[in-house]
């Protein structure tokens, strides 16, 4: 039997690779704390997390969908759907908050279900499917609101509660967000149900042959994505006491932030790799960049540029890492020593 | 270069800067030393500050007749101008202001103002330009933030602005209704605040000193009158709408539409569509209309006088339908060029720079302890071929 | 045959693909605790029949009985519940996922609601040990281990499910002899426990070594069923191919000329070091070595598909300057990969497009590609290699494994390179096809080309090559001339016990 | 020997069989979008008498011209298995705004510099994606952000006008006339679109490059081990795509008479839609340019038709999205039925 050193040795590059998002986060945080005026205080940090909340809900779904090897471009429209429904049902139809929220989530889940069914049964690439449903959902949202926005008409109670700082730094909405992240992290990492998503993304045939209902799994991922997007939109709308039908149709949209964060967090578009918690940290990282740049008083163009640069750097880093790994894959260390000894 | 402010050599802006410097200088003359900051602020001459189009930047403001609010505007048909009462006259209502700090009445000089605009657009670049010129004239410090059309980012910038503890926040809300919470938040934090450009919901007016901006509804009613006159009070009108979501989406379609309905019963509505701000998409829409409606199409009302106007004019030209009259919200360079060449019938005069300067004026008035109306309208004017030359060069 | 003894019975099972009746009213039975070999030409329907059993198809017709109970096997899960496990011909592991999870997929141990990570590791370690991979950390992803290791992981995965019926579809095609031995002892062990095994292979010696009975398939039908003791390999071949094949390796009179390819001190650090050898015109040179000895890496470096750290290559005395595979190919050296599915073929493209893929520059006039000029070479190749496909337009992925392999080979024969390096040219190919391929390789050499054959199939190396070089741990340790060439000498040398 | 003949026989038999049963599917899979187009046109005839007129079709094809020009390039990206070029919008904006700022050098140098600037984006994309195998969607998205930031910064968020930049000289007017020049009453952009699509069709189906690109699109590792210069071919695809995007950008900018960072916004997804409706699959190596033209026309006719029916903007979105998915389903389903695709 040939002698092989135990594989997967944990060198420094391995460490950097595995925890790169945390390192990036820490570096940017420290730089911002050190240099950005008005950055490091409770008020601003809370504000960053409040801002991150919306994107995190999109990123949760995006991450799970990408782990399955799919893509969900409809999250932003679904987010708007959740937002207008929760306020519309409350204000126009007189539902209670609980019901409004539940129906909004259900509507998001329904959109996810449709996405999932088209992708799995219709066998249409998720990029295409969700591009289509994105348009459809946005049409539905406008139809519902007649193109305008909806407000709670002076009912600020729940909105204020959402924005209340319950624990230092954490408002209720942020707490819900963090809980959602933790729950989904736990599910993905520590349950059979969650690991199956990775299997499906890693190799659909393997998963299917192992008895996993891959179609159902992918559909579930889309349902989670849809309902989380709707919930994120709904919570945002509640804390805003109003809902806007067209968020993100211009500028760096929440959709782009969610995709960028998911990638920066290390989830692979090819599927089978990634995690919700990392995406969460990645969203915070992007928010820190935006926030700190505003603190410096730079214009929006610098923020776009910085966002692009980070994204580009991460993509390039990833590509080079794979390139390097490919090059040394299967290298035999005992043979290498031979050269070094010479 | 169209956008450098044409401040004259001996413009008061310079004086204002000097005055501010002098106020802190040790070797100030006795007379100046005696003057309080308020006196100095009041003494600033702002009348001759002009924008890049050579028009005075801080104009005399317009008043508007505010009718009685109907009991339930929503119950009225959409064609009824009063259906839109709450949008059109937001801010004028008898709403009680809440928790508005009292004016310090100690002068505008040296005050720190943060302006949060709603996004990036050449209009808003000119707006920011105007705000900056005006702020300099009043001796104020100004910082401008842009969330690039993202409400979530704007919320954060509101927080960041509060956190920077300025003397005043000026906010162009992204959405009329979402604005309520934003203004409420600023109000809660005890920072005086002015709403600008986009009309927020009436509810939001509680929390602000006032609103300054163009009278979109009023302007479009004026434009509508000009158009109705031109087409003899009858014909078919199609509407190229603003992007859904904001107040212009309503004002620039239902403003003229309800005006026609109220005063020119023979004008009919053919279609309303929102193709976005892309010339080629608008062109296809209008070409489709020309084919579909043929001679029924007498006029087009557009929410934008640049990209949309190009699409409309090109489609009309191509179909040889120069007889169709077009009005649009102004006043971009493209729009004014079209007015000059007679391809557009009329556009509204809406100086972007003045739009930026007006809330600054409101802020300064407030710092100076002057009476401040709840609404500062930009003056309304319809630009036609006859007077377009006065408004060139364009600001954006 | 007592009823109780029968573990599996398939009655009149058929499975149709668009355009092909892959399995045609087959009756097939396996007894408890026996190793039942299933053999046949490429495309005979072996894999399809077994995949039907493993629940891959929900549209088969006919009846399946497990332990005399009729069952419906429409999903893999249903098959698993019946205790049927299959090791697939085409690797089916998820690359980015850890070995442990791949092994335990679908039945990860839990503690309460959550996974029991300790148990996952310990269970998978145990299974890895059983297949001789105790040195591998089960936490690393599949993408970090080599192909033959992955094949073993696959076996471990199937064992973990404690099957009653275990189907192995060409499990040894990527394994070294030693690993094959491990596998056989595992098989014997399972047999003792009363587990039935269906064993598909193109290696007849293996079948005589391990199987108790054998079923022969041809064109989707069963054409023979024997106890292993009642049958000879000649007889099986005749049933498989429909004619008798007497002589496997015709003695070729090699007409060896000038040095064609000369490799000098070539190294890729960590993979192979200081390799030097010559290959002559008209010569077939074998490279023998255990899996992981660096043969494939060497070949890839020669054609610049992988980088080289040191050394030179000369073709007909001239230094090969190409820095990428495409340039090297233009100079006259070509390499056929061992990874048919992932690197060899574009599975979603047609037979024609794959056949002519390497020929595109030759077929083009200037920048323009002429499809017409490809017709003749394509027809010739299809005939020469006896490629059987529904049509030249059909996707390669719909072909049987052996025919895919032939398409891959044809793609390289098409460009007639001065030097052709073939990596495992007959992996997964049936005997008939193998014969064809060998003839074609010999033809090539007879026409003055030089051929290097890398193969783990020792009889193939012995029969085909004029001499064989031995690689061990990234080094060339010598060569064995034609006269001394035999399976034993090769094996000894590769294992480091023979001459060096 | 016998057997050989038998096998050969089965090949030709099967071909014959496939020819009969698969012909319709084959046509659907290749040109299915035209079937939809015909259905839409027939529907249009019943809906409005003005619909079926030369003028109307002229409008539709004209309206799709800029998009078509963009698609003629971006299809190369899709075909090569790299999904879409998300930096197309900013490439369009860049070439337009750079051309205008150089307009004082004369129209031809300005156009060359402008298109060159756009192609530069493609070169960067092509190198990074071709050589280092960066994820194409995300990389081009990042490029879109980066270049957008640069343009906004350089031009301080303003838009610039050809007539102003050229100081009122003839070059400015020539620039705005690029999209207003007509041949036989049809804008030249239409001819350029059709020309580019036909050239693209030729390149994809009839050239060595196209054949190799198809292999790259189907399996990039195989392409590499077939001795195809993968990184160079991908670079070429991105150069073609950026050239087309730059050209489309020139037209859009010329038509809108202003150079600005936002010219081209939204064109990325619109182009993907047209390309995919036209029968190219995102998994690469499938489809043709004639289909892409069909995709462009279908989008045009659909919106034309809905305006004729008088459907509101919002309902139009819903219908468009649904029809989009439907067409893609028809295309991919017939490919699958044919056994030409397993996706
Ligand atoms: N997914 C599929 N679609 C269409 N035809 C298929 C498919 N899978 C297999 N076939 C066809 O079914 C027949 C039987 O193939 P199968 O893979 O069972 O052969 P096999 O005996 O396992 O051959 P090999 O020894 O080469 O593995 C072949 O003609 C093949 O072309
Ligand atoms: N001692 C070792 N240390 C690390 N990796 C090894 C070792 N031996 C083999 N490998 C792995 O096995 C792979 C197979 O190596 P290579 O392809 O060179 O072997 P080969 O002789 O061609 O065998 P095969 O018949 O499997 O192709 C290598 O890429 C490497 O990943
Ligand atoms: Mg098989
Ligand atoms: Mg090998």
Q: How big is the CA angle at C220 (ends C214 and C226), to the nearest 5 degrees?
A: 15
> Does residue A224 register a pLDDT over 80?
yes
Grade residue C133 by pLDDT with cuts at 50, 70 and 90. confident
Q: Which residues contact A284 (CB under 8 A, 6 or more apart)?
A: A25, A48, A49, A52
Distances (CA, A) of B328 to B248, B300, C97: 12, 8, 60
Q: Could you report the per-residue pLDDT of B143-189, keeping only the tens digit for each?
A: 999 888 889 999 999 999 999 999 999 999 998 889 999 999 999 99
Across C18-36, average pLDDT: 89
- Inform me whether the C-beta atom of residue D104 falls under 8 Å from chain B C-beta atoms: no
Cβ-Cβ contacts under 8 Å, B279 against chain D: 252, 255-256
Reported as a single tens digit per residue, the pLDDT across B72-99 is 888 899 888 889 888 888 877 656 788 8
Nearest-Cα distance to chain B for D119, in Å, is 23
CA of C401 to the centre of ligand 1 (A): 7
Beta strands C284-289 and C467-472 are parallel
Quote the CA–CA distance of B31 and B177 in Å, as a whole number: 50
Measured CA to CA, the distance from residue A264 to residue D103 in angstroms comes to: 40
pLDDT digits (tens, 9 = 90+) for D116-167: 999 999 999 999 999 988 999 999 999 999 999 999 899 887 888 888 888 8
CA distance A247 to B174: 10
Distance from the alpha carbon of residue B331 to the mean position of ligand 1, in angstroms: 70
Is D3's CB within 8 Å of C242's CB? Answer: yes
Is residue C402 in contact with ligand 1, taking CB distance under 6 Å? Answer: yes
Report whether pLDDT(B13) > 70: no
In angstroms, the CA A24 to CA A288 distance is: 11
Q: What is the distance in A from the centroid of ligand 4 to the CA of C223?
A: 35
Average pLDDT, chain B: 85
Chain A nearest C-alpha distance from C82 (Å): 12
Under DSSP, the state recorded for C70 is E
pLDDT at D84: 92
pTM, two decimal places: 0.89
Cβ <8 Å between D134 and A315: yes
Select from C43, C53, C91, C436 the residue to mutate for testing ligand 1; criterion: most ligand atoms less than 8 Å from CB: C43
The finding on whether C456 has its CB within 6 A of some atom of ligand 2 is: yes
Q: What pLDDT does residue A147 have?
A: 84
Ligand nearest to the CA of C347: 1
Verify whether ligand 2 is closer than 6 Å to residue C455 (CB atom). no
Query: Which of A5, A9, A332, when mutated, tests ligand 2's pocket best, judged by the most ligand atoms within 8 Å of its CB?
Result: A332
CB contact under 8 A, A7 and C94: no
Q: Give the minimum alpha-carbon distance from A337 to chain C in angstroms, rounded to a whole number.
A: 8
Rounded Cα gap, residues B5 and B56, in angstroms: 11
CATH 3.40.210 assigned to D30-337:
no
Surface of B (226-245) touching D: CB under 8 A: 241, 244
Residue identified by tokens 């591009």 is A131
Measured in angstroms, how far is the CA atom of residue C291 from the centroid of ligand 2? 6
Three-state secondary structure along chain D? Answer: CHHHHHHHHHHHHHHHHHHHHHHHHHHHHHHHHHHHHHHHHHHHHHHCCCCCCHHHHHHHHHHCHHHHHHHHHHHHHHHCCCCCCCCHHHHHHHHHHHHHHCHHHCHHHHHHHHHHHHHHHHHHHHHHHHHHCCCHHHHHHHHHHHHHHHHHHHCCCCCECHHHHCCCCHHHHHHHHHHHCEECCEEHHHHHHHHHHHHHHHHHHHEHHHHHHHHHHHCHHHHHHCCCCHHHHHHHHHHHHHHHHHHHHHHHHHHHCCECCCCCCCHHHHHHHHHHHCCCCCCCCCCCHHHHHHHHHHHHHHHHHHHHHCCCHHHHHHHHHHHHHHHHHHHHHHHHHCCCCCC
User: What's the gap in Å between the CA of B21 and the closest CA on chain A?
Assistant: 24
* Chains in contact with chain D (at least 3 beta-carbon pairs closer than 8 A): A, B, C
- Atom index in ligand 1 nearest the CA of residue C51 equals 18
Give the pLDDT band (50/70/90) at residue C412: very high
Contact C315, C309 (CB under 8 A): no
Which chain B positions have a beta carbon within 8 Å of A251's beta carbon? 119-120, 147-150, 153
What percent of chain B clears pLDDT 90, i.e. is strictly above it? 44
pLDDT of amino acid A76:
95
CA of C28 to the centre of ligand 4 (A): 35
What's the CA-to-centroid distance between C273 and ligand 2, angstroms?
A: 14
Residues of C in contact with A192 (CB under 8 A): 108, 110, 115
Q: Which pLDDT tens digits describe chain D residue by residue (343 residues)?
A: 333 333 433 443 444 444 445 666 667 666 778 888 898 899 988 888 888 888 888 888 888 999 999 999 999 999 999 999 999 999 999 999 999 999 989 999 999 999 999 999 999 999 999 998 899 999 999 999 999 999 989 988 788 888 888 887 888 889 999 999 999 888 999 999 999 999 999 999 999 999 999 999 999 999 999 989 999 999 999 999 999 999 999 999 999 998 988 888 889 999 999 999 998 988 888 889 999 999 999 999 998 899 888 888 889 999 999 999 998 888 888 877 776 665 5
Establish if A165 touches chain B: CB-CB under 8 angstroms: no
What is the distance in A from the centroid of ligand 2 to the CA of C183? Answer: 19
Q: What is the count of residue pairs from A and D with beta carbons less than 8 Å apart?
A: 144
Q: Which residues does chain A have within 8 Å of residue C297's beta carbon, measured at their own beta carbons?
A: 330
Instruction: State the residue for tokens 């015709």.
Output: C250
Q: Which ligand is nearest to the CA of C404?
A: 1
C189 — contact with chain A (CB < 8 Å)? no
CA distance A79 to chain B (A): 12
Topology of domain C259-494, per CATH?
Answer: Rossmann fold (3.40.50)
Closest residue by CA, ligand 2 atom 10: C292
Q: Tell me whether residues B164 and A291 touch, CB distance under 8 A.
A: no
Domain boundaries, chain D: 30-337
| Partner-chain contact C369 D283, CB within 8 Å | no
How many A-B residue pairs are in contact by the CB < 8 A criterion? 118
Neighbors of chain A with 3 or more C-beta pairs under 8 Å: B, C, D
Chain B residue set in contact with A, beta carbons under 8 Å: 119-120, 143, 145-153, 155-157, 159-160, 162-164, 174-178, 180-181, 184, 201, 203, 243-245, 249-250, 274
> Which residues in chain D touch residue A319, judged by CB atoms under 8 angstroms apart?
128, 132-135
- State the distance from the centre of ligand 1 to the C-alpha of C111, rounded, in angstroms: 42
Q: Is A233 helix (H, G, I), strand (E, B) or coil?
A: helix
Q: Kindly state whether C277 is in contact with chain A, defined as any CB-CB distance less than 8 angstroms.
A: no
User: Which pLDDT value is given to residue C497?
Assistant: 47
Residue in A with minimal Cα distance to B152? A51
**First-residue to last-residue Cα distance in chain C:** 53
B37-81: pLDDT as tens digits: 778 878 777 777 877 777 777 767 777 788 888 888 888 998 888
Measure CB to CB from residue C369 to each of D8, D208, D223 and give the nearest one: D208
Domain spans, chain A: 41-250+267-274
Domain at C3-245, CATH homologous superfamily: P-loop containing nucleotide triphosphate hydrolases (3.40.50.300)
C216 lines ligand 1 (CB under 6 A): no
Cβ separation B276–D300 shorter than 8 A: no
Is the CB of A2 inside a 6 Å radius of any atom of ligand 2?
A: yes
D71 alpha carbon to ligand 3 midpoint, in Å? 42
CB contact under 8 A, D66 and B333: no
Per the CB < 8 Å rule, is C146 touching A330? yes
């Amino acid at each position: 039997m040939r002698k092989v050193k135990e594989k997967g040795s944990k060198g420094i590059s391995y460490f950097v690779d595995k925890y790169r998002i945390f390192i990036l986060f820490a570096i940017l945080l420290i730089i911002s704390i050190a240099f950005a005026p008005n950055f490091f205080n409770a008020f601003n940090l809370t504000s960053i997390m409040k801002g991150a909340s919306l994107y995190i809900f999109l990123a949760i779904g995006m991450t799970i969908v990408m782990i399955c090897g799919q893509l969900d471009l409809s999250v932003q429209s679904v987010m708007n759907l959740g937002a207008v429904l929760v306020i519309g049902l409350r204000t126009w139809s007189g539902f209670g908050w609980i019901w409004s929220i539940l129906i909004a989530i259900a509507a998001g889940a329904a959109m996810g279900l449709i996405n999932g069914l088209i992708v799995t049964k219709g066998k249409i690439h998720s990029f295409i499917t969700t591009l289509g449903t994105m348009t459809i959902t946005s049409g539905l949202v406008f139809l519902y609101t007649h193109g305008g926005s909806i407000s709670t008409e002076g009912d600020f109670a729940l909105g204020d509660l959402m924005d209340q700082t319950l624990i230092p730094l954490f408002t209720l909405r942020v707490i819900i967000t963090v809980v959602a992240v933790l729950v989904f992290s736990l599910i993905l990492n520590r349950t059979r149900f969650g690991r199956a998503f990775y299997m499906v993304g890693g190799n659909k045939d393997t998963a299917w042959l192992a008895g996993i209902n891959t179609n159902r799994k992918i559909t579930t991922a889309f349902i989670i994505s849809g309902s989380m997007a709707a919930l994120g939109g709904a919570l945002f709308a509640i804390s805003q006491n109003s809902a806007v039908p067209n968020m993100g149709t211009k500028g760096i949209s929440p959709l782009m932030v969610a995709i960028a964060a998911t990638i920066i967090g290390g989830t692979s578009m090819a599927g089978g790799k990634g995690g919700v918690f990392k995406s969460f940290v990645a969203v915070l990282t992007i928010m820190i960049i935006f926030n700190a740049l505003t603190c410096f008083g730079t214009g929006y163009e610098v923020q776009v540029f910085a966002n692009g640069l980070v994204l580009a750097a991460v993509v390039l880093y990833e590509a080079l890492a794979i390139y390097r790994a490919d090059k040394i894959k299967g290298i035999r260390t005992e043979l290498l020593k031979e050269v070094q000894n010479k | 270069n169209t956008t450098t402010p044409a401040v004259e050599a001996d413009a008061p802006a310079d004086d204002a800067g000097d005055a501010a410097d002098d106020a802190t200088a040790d070797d100030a003359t006795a007379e100046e030393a005696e003057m309080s900051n308020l006196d100095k602020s009041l003494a600033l001459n702002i009348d001759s500050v002009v924008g890049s189009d050579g028009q005075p930047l801080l104009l005399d403001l317009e008043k508007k007749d505010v009718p009685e609010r109907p009991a339930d505007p929503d119950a009225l048909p959409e064609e009824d101008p009063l259906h839109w009462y709450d949008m059109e006259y937001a801010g004028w209502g008898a709403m009680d202001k809440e928790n508005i700090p009292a004016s310090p009445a100690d002068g505008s000089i040296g005050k720190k103002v943060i302006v949060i605009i709603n996004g990036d657009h050449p209009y808003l670049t000119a707006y920011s330009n105007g705000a900056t010129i005006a702020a300099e004239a009043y001796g104020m410090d100004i910082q401008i933030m842009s969330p690039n059309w993202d409400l979530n980012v704007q919320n954060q910038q509101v927080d960041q602005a509060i956190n920077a503890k300025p003397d005043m926040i000026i906010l162009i809300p992204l959405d009329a209704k979402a604005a309520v919470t934003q203004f409420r938040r600023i109000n809660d934090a005890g920072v005086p605040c002015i709403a600008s450009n986009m009309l927020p919901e009436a509810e939001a007016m509680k929390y602000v000193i006032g609103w300054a901006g163009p009278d979109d509804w009023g302007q479009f009613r004026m434009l509508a009158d000009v158009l109705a006159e031109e087409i003899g009070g009858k014909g078919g009108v199609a509407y190229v709408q603003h992007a859904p979501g904001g107040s212009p989406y309503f004002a620039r379609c239902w403003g003229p539409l309800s005006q026609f309905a109220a005063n020119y019963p023979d004008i009919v509505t053919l279609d309303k569509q929102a193709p976005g701000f892309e010339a080629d998409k608008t062109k296809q829409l209008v070409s489709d209309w020309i084919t579909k409606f043929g001679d029924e199409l007498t006029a087009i009302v557009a929410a934008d006088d640049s990209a949309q106007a190009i699409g409309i004019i090109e489609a009309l030209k191509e179909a040889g339908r120069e007889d169709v009259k077009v009005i649009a919200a102004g006043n971009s360079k493209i729009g004014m060029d079209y007015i000059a060449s007679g391809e557009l019938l009329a556009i509204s005069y809406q100086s972007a720079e003045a739009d930026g300067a007006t809330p600054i004026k409101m802020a300064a008035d407030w710092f100076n302890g002057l009476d401040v109306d709840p609404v500062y309208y930009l003056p309304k004017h319809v630009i036609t071929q006859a007077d377009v030359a006065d408004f060139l060069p364009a600001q954006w | 045959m007592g009823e109780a003894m029968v573990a599996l019975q398939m009655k009149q099972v058929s499975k149709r693909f668009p355009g092909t009746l892959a399995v045609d009213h087959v009756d097939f039975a396996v007894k408890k605790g026996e190793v039942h070999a299933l053999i046949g030409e490429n495309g005979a329907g072996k894999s399809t029949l077994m995949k039907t059993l493993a629940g891959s198809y929900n549209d088969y017709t006919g009846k399946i009985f497990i332990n005399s109970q009729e069952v419906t096997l429409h999903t893999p899960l249903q098959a698993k519940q019946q205790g049927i496990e299959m090791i697939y011909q085409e690797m089916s592991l998820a690359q980015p996922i850890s070995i442990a999870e791949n092994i335990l997929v679908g039945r990860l141990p839990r503690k309460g609601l959550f996974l029991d990570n300790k148990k996952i590791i310990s269970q998978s370690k145990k299974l890895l040990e059983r297949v001789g991979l105790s040195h591998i950390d089960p936490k690393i992803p599949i993408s970090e281990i080599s192909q033959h290791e992955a094949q073993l992981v696959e076996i471990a995965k199937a064992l973990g499910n404690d099957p009653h019926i275990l189907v192995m579809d060409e499990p040894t095609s990527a394994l070294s002899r030693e690993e094959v031995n491990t596998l056989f002892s595992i098989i014997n062990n399972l047999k003792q426990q009363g587990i039935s095994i269906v064993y598909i292979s193109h290696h007849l010696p293996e079948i005589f070594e391990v199987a108790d009975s054998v079923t022969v398939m041809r064109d989707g039908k069963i054409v023979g069923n024997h106890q292993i003791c009642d049958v000879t390999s000649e007889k099986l071949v005749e049933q498989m191919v429909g004619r008798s094949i007497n002589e496997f390796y015709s003695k070729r009179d090699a007409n060896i000329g000038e040095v064609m390819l000369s490799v000098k001190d070539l190294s890729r650090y960590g993979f192979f070091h200081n390799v030097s050898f010559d290959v002559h015109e008209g010569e077939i040179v074998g490279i023998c070595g255990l899996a992981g000895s660096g043969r494939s890496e060497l070949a890839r470096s020669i054609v610049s598909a992988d980088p080289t750290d040191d050394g030179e290559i000369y073709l007909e005395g001239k230094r090969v300057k190409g820095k990428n595979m495409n340039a090297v190919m233009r100079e006259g050296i070509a390499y056929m990969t061992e990874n048919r599915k992932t690197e060899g073929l574009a599975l979603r493209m047609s037979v024609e497009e794959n056949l002519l893929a390497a020929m595109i520059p030759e077929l083009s006039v200037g920048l323009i590609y002429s499809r017409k000029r490809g017709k003749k070479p394509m027809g010739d190749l299809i005939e020469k290699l006896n490629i059987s496909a529904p049509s030249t337009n059909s996707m390669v992925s719909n072909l049987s494994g052996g025919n895919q392999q032939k398409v891959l080979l044809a793609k390289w024969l098409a460009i007639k390179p001065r030097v052709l390096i073939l990596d495992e040219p007959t992996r997964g190919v049936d005997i008939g096809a193998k014969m064809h391929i060998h003839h074609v390789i010999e033809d090539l050499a007879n026409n003055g080309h030089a051929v290097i054959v890398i193969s783990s199939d020792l009889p193939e190396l012995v029969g085909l090559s004029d001499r064989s070089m031995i690689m061990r741990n990234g080094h060339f340790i010598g060569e064995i001339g034609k006269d001394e060439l035999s399976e034993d000498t090769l094996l000894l040398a590769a294992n480091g016990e023979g001459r060096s | 020997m016998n057997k050989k003949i038998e096998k050969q026989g089965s090949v030709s038999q099967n071909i014959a069989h496939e020819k009969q049963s698969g012909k319709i599917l084959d046509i659907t899979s290749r040109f299915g979008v035209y079937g939809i187009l015909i259905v839409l046109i027939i529907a249009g005839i019943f809906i409005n008498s003005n619909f079926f007129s030369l003028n109307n079709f002229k409008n539709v094809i004209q309206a799709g011209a800029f998009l078509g020009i963009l698609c003629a390039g971006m299809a190369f990206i899709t075909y090569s298995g790299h999904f879409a070029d998300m930096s197309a919008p900013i490439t369009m904006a860049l070439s337009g705004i750079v051309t205008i700022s150089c307009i004082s050098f004369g129209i031809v140098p300005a156009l060359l510099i402008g298109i060159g600037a756009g192609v530069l984006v493609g070169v960067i994309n092509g190198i990074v994606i071709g050589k280092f195998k960066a994820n194409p969607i995300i990389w081009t998205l990042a490029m879109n952000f980066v270049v957008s930031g640069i343009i906004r910064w350089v031009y301080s968020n303003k838009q610039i006008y050809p007539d102003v930049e050229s100081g009122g000289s003839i070059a400015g007017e020539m620039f705005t006339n690029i999209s207003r020049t007509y041949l036989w009453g049809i804008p030249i952009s239409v001819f350029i679109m059709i020309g580019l699509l036909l050239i693209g069709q030729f390149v994809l189906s009839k050239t060595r490059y196209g054949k190799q690109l198809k292999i790259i699109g189907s399996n990039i590792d195989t392409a590499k081990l077939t001795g195809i210069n993968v990184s160079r071919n991908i670079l070429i695809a991105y150069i073609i795509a950026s050239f087309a995007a730059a050209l489309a950008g020139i037209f859009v900018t010329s038509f809108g008479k202003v150079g600005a960072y936002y010219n081209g916004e939204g064109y990325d997804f619109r182009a993907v839609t047209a390309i995919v409706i036209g029968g190219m699959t995102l998994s690469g190596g499938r489809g043709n340019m004639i289909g892409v033209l069909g995709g462009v026309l279908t989008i045009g006719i659909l919106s034309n038709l809905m305006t004729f029916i008088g459907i509101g903007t919002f309902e139009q979105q819903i219908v468009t999205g649904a029809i989009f998915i439907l067409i893609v389903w028809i295309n991919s389903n017939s490919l699958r039925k044919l056994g030409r695709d397993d996706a």
